[in-house]
Amino acid sequence: MIRLRDVAHARAGDKGNTSNICVFVYRPEDYSALTGHLTAELVAQTFSGLITGEVMRYDLPKLAGFNFVMYGALGGGVTRSLALDAHGKCLSSVLLDLKIPDDFRST
């Protein structure tokens, strides 16, 4: 197994109680290979103890990336949350720690 960070980087953003994480592969040819592995269901499972809403994945093929929108992820939003990371910037780091198969390109 390898970590997602070995083949991609990410940026996080927020709006109210919603967090979004964009994952962009380093090599464009890895985009289609990751499509079946990096699902909204996997992301929802990864953050299951944190988010209260659904996770949506928006594919960005021309950018070789995925935008995950997580509703109910920020404890009410920046002005209401007591979290140390109220904007949820570290969530992208958590996502990049996901393990994916070494042979993800061939499956």
The pLDDT tens digits for 28-82 are: 999 999 999 999 999 999 999 888 999 999 999 999 999 999 998 776 555 555 4
The pLDDT tens digits for 83-94 are: 545 455 678 899
The pLDDT tens digits for 20-30 are: 999 999 999 99
Residue 9 has pLDDT above 80, yes or no: yes
Q: What values do phi and psi take at 41, rounded to 5?
A: -65, -40
Residue ranges of E strands in the chain: 2-3, 8-15, 18-25, 55-60, 65-70, 99-100
CATH numbers and ranges of domains, the chain: 2-106 (3.30.70)
